[in-house]
């Protein structure tokens, strides 16, 4: 490896990381705005999430007397996991420095690491809500993780690789014929992303109703900068999942070479696709009603089955291509 | 000195240490603080010698022990060396820990007796790995079973522990019968057919070969905890003292894996693909079963024991996949799957012994094994808690620790299955990959439950606040094992390079040369375009990112903090009773996987003054398989018992009738 080749990759990696950090709250604000609009409420300002983050960072965190050091470390760790996840996903370019270090399975592992830490942090104070949220989060986690892996397996059986960069390159450059397996995988992926990001119908990010909350129950004890980091991490997770969906199913326009022109096109296309994706997410959330917690196994079980079906459909129908 | 001689010297050293423990049984300090660390030093010797020999040619020795005319054949090849290395490295940590863990009066066995049995156990496991004939193998196998039986029942005044030990002994012997019969089938009926060298050359017929494999599978499966012979494992592991549980789970189960690998790949000349498919199916079923049960346990050591069943199942699945590839003449992919399985062996050995040892410290500090009476131990026991967290992350299969690497390799090898020539098999295998993903995710659930309920939250009992942290020797042992988890996680290519001779030996191919291609940090089996993972960059990324965020937040904003009471949502409830219990945390699993369990609930009546709610979750196999079997045996023995009348006249009549019958038979 020579340094000249590494430098632009490094620059692209940093650019992508900071783009994700900067844009993630915007996506959350955009989804919240559309949700309000579709539900007939006055939309909050688009930049409200930034304002909230700044406010929270400035505040003094209140920490329970029996909070351990794990409780204080967890927000930083969760934030950096999500930032790395957003950096691994080939959002703008597939020529990334970090690409060989982590493939699709490692990405799932990174999400799981963050989930384990947020669940442990939820259990740390020892309140009823914290452990309730932790157990529900782990329930959704163990159902969603296999489904997500099967979606990646579909993509990697098609492209012969689990490296995200190679998957995106293959899928972006294929001759145009429709893969039925990818359609199945796409539906499964959408269901998994809804569950993983705590969206209606699985969880509701806007509620503190004890019967239904999952994510909010775990982070009830957090305040100040810790809460800011966790909120930002949640935005980053939504951003990373949206970018993953785009990279797997609508990869057209992701830069394969590192030039300013290609990157500019990639950024423009990406913003457009994300805006559309955010609108669709708000639409799904508006059109569906929140499920009982014990309906989620059925919801995610069908996502898993669809993803398995996707692999089988590929092996049965598309294997010879 | 050759590696084999060095290992045998260490073995003799272990026996000497054990005997010294009996002779100086009254000097507690000498036994615990001198003899056990000496045993640990010998273990490091074994590991070093084995590591040195892994790249060299096999070495054999004939010891003039045993019966006249039946000497012990020993052989040290790459497979033995790898497992010996695992044994030595783990045993070193466990022995150091045990040096600090032993108490003057605990249980019914004295420290001296424990010292003898412990080192005998280590030595016999070593001989199992070195054996090159069926005779010495069985002798060592049985002494391993017996010494571990006595270690399990070292607290034999408790009826529950006696029962657990008895169950263990029965299953161990059923397994031993299977292994013995398998060796018998492979010996080909020749006089010196009992040596492994002779077995390798025998041409067995198709069915005899499969019979030998199935018998070996049953025998070694019983020791490893393969479904449905797993029942002893969740009983025996919690009953044993924690260092023994650690050794049994980390090393003894691996000797069973070793035995199966030896028989299936080395002693039997031709592999059938359906052996692999059978192993794969059984392994995955075992793993799903084990992990689902581990999530609903309320005893911390039982939880870990079920998790061991899960990990053994994953290892068997990897071995099975490797057999399928090897039987279809795809040695490179066979090597990949086998590497995943063998890598998982050493990973499981490290993280599970670490976790079992932390439960030992918790047990000594609190006297509790029940998760419902623990909680909040991260405050009084920070060392144990943070080291347990390392084990928990490794065991949950999360990057960047070691559990993730082997699961990653296993998933990678599943992704190659579409290349197999079997139409139906290669369609089933992606589903199997989904099962592996489910198992990994459920393992995360079980581990969050274990760590969260034991170490986090508020203490569920008043006395827990007085718990003390582990002592220095215990800490050294724990740190050794935790460092192993980290090293195995971030430097996978070194492990894979050591595994290369093993896979060369078993499936005739290794992929260490293709892995990484000169970049010694990058794990890339087959090719870099195909898949790659760089654990060190991964770890560095997380650490650097966390540090950068910490510094940025502190410098851009502030580091102030205020300690307040927990926010109680307006319902002031004191104490830790409102948190989830272990049963509560496992409730989603009981609901989702209800058909797996046999659940009995006792509901209180509305007029009960002291209402109790009880739920018992049992293994359905007990009622479907074991209890009917036990009743059948009981029925048979009662029939035999009809003969037993207790009057001498009747016994004399039996002898007389027998004599008459024999006379008629011979004079006819």
C-alpha triplet B376, B381, B384: angle, nearest 5°: 110
From the list A57, A63, A68, the residue facing B553 with the nearest CB is A57
| Interchain contact, B588 vs A136, CB within 8 Å | yes
Look at B564 and A130 and tell me if their CB atoms are within 8 Å. no
Q: Is the Cβ pair A101, B538 closer than 8 Å?
A: yes
pLDDT at residue B535 greater than cutoff 90: no
* Closest partner CB to A119 (pick from B448, B530, B546): B448
B566/A102 CB distance under 8 A: no
Q: What is the mean pLDDT of chain A?
A: 87
Which positions ≥6 away from B148 have C-beta within 8 Å? B121, B168, B240, B244, B248, B252
The rounded distance, in Å, linking the Cα atoms of B90 and B249 is 11
Cβ–Cβ contacts within 10 Å for residue B666, how many?
7
Closest-CA residue of chain A to B519: A1
Residues of A in contact with B431 (CB under 8 A): 308, 312
Least confidently predicted of A205-209, B183-187, B383-387, B546-550: A205-209
How much of chain B exceeds pLDDT 70, in percent?
A: 96
B447–A116 CB contact, under 8 Å: yes
Shortest distance, CA A40 to any CA of chain B (angstroms): 31
pLDDT in the model for residue B493: 83
Segment holding B61, helix H or strand E: strand B59-63
Confidence of residue B249 (pLDDT cuts 50, 70, 90): very high
Contact A247, A90 (CB under 8 A): yes
- Interface probe for B, chosen from A13, A127, A139, A192 (most Cβ of B below 10 Å), is A127
Mean pLDDT calculated for residue range B536-556? 91
**Which DSSP string do the residues of B448-461 spell out, in sequence order?**
HHHHHHHHSSS-SS
The shortest C-alpha distance from A255 to chain B (Å) reads 18
Those residues with Cβ within 8 angstroms of residue B146's Cβ, 6 or more apart along the chain or in another chain: none
Could you give the residue ranges of the DSSP H alpha helices within A102-223?
Answer: 104-124, 128-159, 164-173, 180-196, 215-218
Q: Which of B378, B418, B528 sits opposite A157 (nearest CB)?
A: B418
- Write out the residue range of the structural domain in which residue A32 sits: 3-318
Contacts A202 to B, Cβ<8 Å: none
According to DSSP, the β-strands at B562-564 and A62-64 are: parallel
Q: Which distant-in-sequence residues (6+ apart) come within 8 Å of B301 by Cβ?
A: B237, B238, B242, B245, B356, B359, B369
What's the pLDDT tens digit per position in A10-31? 888 888 889 899 999 999 999 9
Predicted confidence at residue A176, as pLDDT, reads: 55
Reduced 3-state DSSP string for B518-585: CCCCCECCCCCCCCCECHHHHHHHHHHHHHHHHHHHHHHCCCCCEEECCCCCCCCCCCHHHCCCHHHH
The pLDDT score that the predictor gives to residue B293 is 93
Give the per-residue pLDDT at B385: 94
**Chain A: residue whose CA lies nearest to B438:** A146
pLDDT, one tens digit per residue, over B599-614 is: 888 888 888 888 888 8
Kindly state the tokens that stand for B442: 């459920």
Give the pLDDT band (50/70/90) at residue A241.
very high
Residues B597, B111: Cα–Cα separation, whole Å: 40
Q: Do B580 and A134 make contact, defined as CB atoms within 8 angstroms?
A: yes
The neighbour count for residue A248, using CB atoms within 10 Å, is 23
Closest-CA residue of chain B to A21: B549
User: In terms of Cα–Cα distance, which of B80, B87, B73, B105 is closest to B39?
Assistant: B87
Residue A320 has pLDDT above 70, yes or no: no
Neighboring chain A residues of B411 at a CB cutoff of 8 Å: 105, 149
A-chain CB neighbours of B555 within 8 Å are none
Task: Determine whether the interchain pair A138/B375 forms a contact, defined as Cβ–Cβ distance below 8 Å.
Answer: no
- Which residues make Cβ contacts (< 8 Å) with residue A76, sequence separation at least 6? A229, B546, B549, B550, B553
Residue ranges per structural domain of chain B: 271-498+580-597, 624-667
CB contact (8 A) between residue B457 and residue A294:
no
Query: Quick one: pLDDT band at residue B626, thresholds 50, 70, 90?
Result: confident
Distance from CA of B516 to the nearest CA of A (A): 11
Query: pLDDT (tens digit, 9 = 90+) per residue, A43-96?
Result: 999 999 999 999 999 999 999 888 999 999 999 999 999 999 998 888 777 777
* Interface test mutation site (partner B, options A137, A146, A214, A222, max chain B beta carbons within 10 A): A146
A63 with B562: Cβ contact below 8 A: yes
> Which residue does chain A place closest to B446, by CA atoms?
A138
The more confident residue out of B28 and A287 is: A287
- In this predicted structure, the answer to whether residue A321 has a pLDDT above a threshold of 50 is no
Average pLDDT of the residues in A288-299: 88
Q: Which of A58, A66, A221 sits opposite B376 (nearest CB)?
A: A66
Which among B292, B340, B450, B452 is the top mutation candidate for probing chain A, defined by the most A β-carbons within 10 Å of its own β-carbon? B452
A235 CA: distance to closest CA in chain B (Å): 16
Nearest to A312 among B427, B441, B453 (CB): B427
pLDDT of residue B529: 67
Cβ-proximal residues to A22 (8 Å cutoff; 6+ apart), any chain: none
- Of the given ranges (A19-28, A174-183, B76-85, B613-622), which has the lowest mean pLDDT? A174-183
The residue of chain A with its CA nearest to that of B386 is: A70
The band of B478, judged by pLDDT with boundaries at 50, 70 and 90, is very high
Number of inter-chain CB pairs under 8 A, A vs B: 255
In terms of Cβ atoms closer than 10 Å to its own Cβ (0-12, 13-18, 19+), residue A310 is: buried
- Of all residues in chain A, the percent with pLDDT exceeding 90 is 50
Q: Is the pLDDT confidence value at B533 over 60?
A: yes
Q: Which of A192-206, B41-55, B74-88, B415-429 has the lowest mean pLDDT?
A: B415-429
User: How many domains does chain A divide into?
Assistant: 1
pLDDT band at B439 (very low <50, low <70, confident <90, very high): very high
pLDDT at site A258: 67
Contact B481, A160 (CB under 8 A): no
DSSP A66: T
Contact B115, B27 (CB under 8 A): no
With b for 16 or more beta-carbon neighbours within 10 A and e for fewer, the B172-188 pattern comes to beebbebbbbbbebbbe
pLDDT at A174: 66
List of chain A residues whose C-beta atoms are within 8 Å of the C-beta of residue B592: 139, 143, 297
User: Given pLDDT bands bounded at 50, 70 and 90, which one contains residue B573?
Assistant: low
Report chain B residues whose CB lies below 8 A from the CB of A61. 560-562
> For residue A4, is pLDDT > 80?
no
- The percentage of chain B sitting over the pLDDT mark of 90, rounded to a whole number, equals 49
What was the pLDDT predicted at B526?
67
- Rounded to a whole number of angstroms, the distance from the CA of A184 to the nearest CA of chain B is 15
Q: Report the residue from B427, B431, B546 with minimal CB separation from A76.
A: B546
* Mean pLDDT (chain B, rounded): 88
Which of B418, B435, B441, B560 is most worth mutating to test chain A (most A CB atoms within 10 A of its CB)? B441
- Minimal CA separation from A303 to chain B, in Å: 12
* Exposed e or buried b per residue across A57-88, where buried means at least 16 C-beta atoms within 10 angstroms of its C-beta: bebebbbbebbbebbeebbbbbbbbbbbbbbb
The predicted-structure confidence for B295-331, as pLDDT tens digits, reads as follows 999 899 999 999 999 999 999 999 999 999 888 888 8
Q: Which residue has the tokens 């007796």?
A: B113
The residue among A17, A72, A126, A213 with the most chain B CBs within 10 A of its CB, best to mutate, is: A126
- Give the gyration radius of chain A's Cα atoms: 19
Residues B386, B371: Cα–Cα separation, whole Å: 18
Question: Contact, B95 vs B43, CB < 8 A?
Answer: yes
Cβ–Cβ below 8 Å for A161 and B531: yes
Q: Which of A100, A226, A308, A315 is the mutation pick for testing B, counting most B CBs within 10 A?
A: A100
């Amino acid at each position: 490896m020579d340094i000249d080749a590494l430098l632009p990759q490094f620059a692209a990696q940093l650019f992508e990381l900071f783009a994700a950090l900067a844009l993630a709250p915007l996506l959350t604000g955009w989804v919240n705005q559309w949700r309000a609009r579709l539900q007939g409420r006055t939309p909050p300002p688009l930049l409200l999430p930034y304002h909230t983050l700044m406010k929270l960072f400035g505040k003094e965190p209140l920490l329970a007397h029996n909070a351990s050091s794990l409780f204080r470390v967890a927000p930083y760790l969760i934030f950096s996991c999500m930032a790395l996840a957003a950096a691994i996903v080939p959002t703008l370019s597939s020529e990334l420095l970090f690409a060989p270090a982590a493939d699709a399975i490692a990405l799932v592992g990174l999400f799981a690491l963050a989930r384990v830490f947020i669940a442990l942090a939820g259990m740390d104070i020892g309140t009823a809500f914290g452990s309730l949220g932790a157990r529900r989060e782990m329930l959704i986690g163990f159902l969603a993780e296999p489904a997500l892996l099967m979606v990646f397996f579909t993509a990697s059986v098609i492209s012969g690789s689990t490296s995200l960069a190679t998957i995106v390159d293959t899928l972006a450059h294929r001759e145009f014929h429709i893969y039925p397996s990818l359609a199945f995988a796409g539906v499964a992926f959408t269901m998994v992303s809804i569950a993983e990001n705590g969206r209606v119908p699985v969880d509701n990010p806007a509620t503190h109703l004890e019967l239904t909350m999952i994510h909010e129950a775990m982070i009830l004890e957090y305040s100040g900068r810790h809460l800011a980091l966790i909120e930002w991490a949640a935005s980053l997770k939504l951003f990373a999942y949206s970018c993953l969906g785009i990279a797997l199913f609508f990869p057209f326009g992701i830069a394969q070479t590192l030039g300013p022109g290609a990157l500019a096109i990639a950024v423009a296309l990406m913003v457009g696709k994300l805006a559309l994706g955010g609108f669709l997410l708000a639409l799904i959330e508006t059109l569906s009603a929140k499920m009982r917690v014990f309906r989620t196994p059925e919801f995610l079980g069908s996502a898993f089955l669809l993803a398995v079906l996707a692999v089988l459909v590929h092996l049965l129908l598309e294997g010879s291509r | 000195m050759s590696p084999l001689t060095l290992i045998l010297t260490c073995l003799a050293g272990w026996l000497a240490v054990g005997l010294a423990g009996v002779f100086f049984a009254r000097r507690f300090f000498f036994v615990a603080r001198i003899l056990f660390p000496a045993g640990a030093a010998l273990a490091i010797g074994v590991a070093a010698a084995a590591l040195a020999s892994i790249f060299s040619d096999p070495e054999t020795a004939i010891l003039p022990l045993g019966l006249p005319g039946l000497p012990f054949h020993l052989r040290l090849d790459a497979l033995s060396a790898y497992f010996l290395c695992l044994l030595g490295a783990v045993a070193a940590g466990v022995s150091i820990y045990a040096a600090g863990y032993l108490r003057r009066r605990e249980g019914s066995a004295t420290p001296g007796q424990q010292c003898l049995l412990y080192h005998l156990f280590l030595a016999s496991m070593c001989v199992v790995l070195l054996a090159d004939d069926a005779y010495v193998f069985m002798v060592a196998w049985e002494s391993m079973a017996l010494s571990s039986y006595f270690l399990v029942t070292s607290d034999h005044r408790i009826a529950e522990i006696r029962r657990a030990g008895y169950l263990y002994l029965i299953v161990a012997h059923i397994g031993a019968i299977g292994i013995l019969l398998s060796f018998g089938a492979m010996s080909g009926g020749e006089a010196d057919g009992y040596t492994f060298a002779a077995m390798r050359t025998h041409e067995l017929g198709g069915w005899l070969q499969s019979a030998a494999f199935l018998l070996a599978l049953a025998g070694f499966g019983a020791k490893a905890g393969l479904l449905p012979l797993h029942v002893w494992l969740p009983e025996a592991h919690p009953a044993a003292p924690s260092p023994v549980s650690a050794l049994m789970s980390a090393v003894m189960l691996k000797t069973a894996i070793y035995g199966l690998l030896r028989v299936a790949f080395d002693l039997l000349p031709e592999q059938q693909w359906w052996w692999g498919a059978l192993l794969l199916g059984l392994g995955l079923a075992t793993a799903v079963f084990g992990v689902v049960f581990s999530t609903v346990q309320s005893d911390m050591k039982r939880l870990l024991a079920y998790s061991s069943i899960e990990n053994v199942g994953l290892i068997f699945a990897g071995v099975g996949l490797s057999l399928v590839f090897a039987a279809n003449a795809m040695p490179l992919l066979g090597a990949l799957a086998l590497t995943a399985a063998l890598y998982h062996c050493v990973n499981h050995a490290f993280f599970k012994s670490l976790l079992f040892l932390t439960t030992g410290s918790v047990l000594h500090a609190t006297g509790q094994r029940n998760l419902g009476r623990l909680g909040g131990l991260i405050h009084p026991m920070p060392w144990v808690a943070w080291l347990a967290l390392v084990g928990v992350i490794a065991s949950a299969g999360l990057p960047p620790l070691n559990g993730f690497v082997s699961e990653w390799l296993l998933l990678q090898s599943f992704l190659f299955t579409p290349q197999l020539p079997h139409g139906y098999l290669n369609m089933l295998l992606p589903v199997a990959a989904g099962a592996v993903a489910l198992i990994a995710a459920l393992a995360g659930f079980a581990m969050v439950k274990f760590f969260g309920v034991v170490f986090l939250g508020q203490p569920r009992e008043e006395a827990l606040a007085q718990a003390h942290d582990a002592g220095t020797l215990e800490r050294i042992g724990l740190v050794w094992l935790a460092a192993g988890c980290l090293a195995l996680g971030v430097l996978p290519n070194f492990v894979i390079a050591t595994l290369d001779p093993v896979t060369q030996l078993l499936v005739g191919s290794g992929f260490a040369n293709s892995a990484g291609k000169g970049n010694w940090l990058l794990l890339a089996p087959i090719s870099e375009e195909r898949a790659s993972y760089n654990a060190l960059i991964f770890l560095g990324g997380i650490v650097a990112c966390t540090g950068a965020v910490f510094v940025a937040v502190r410098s851009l904003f502030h580091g102030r903090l205020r300690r307040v009471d927990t926010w109680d949502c307006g319902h002031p409830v004191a104490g830790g009773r409102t948190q989830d219990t272990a049963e509560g945390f496992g409730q989603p699993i009981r609901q989702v996987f209800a058909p797996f369990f046999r659940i009995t609930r006792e509901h209180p009546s509305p007029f009960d003054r002291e209402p109790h709610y009880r739920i018992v979750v049992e293994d359905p196999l007990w009622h479907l398989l074991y209890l009917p079997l036990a009743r059948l045996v009981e029925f048979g023995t009662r029939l035999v018992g009809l003969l037993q009348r207790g009057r001498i006249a009747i016994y004399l009549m039996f002898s007389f009738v027998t004599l008459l019958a024999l006379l008629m038979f011979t004079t006819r």
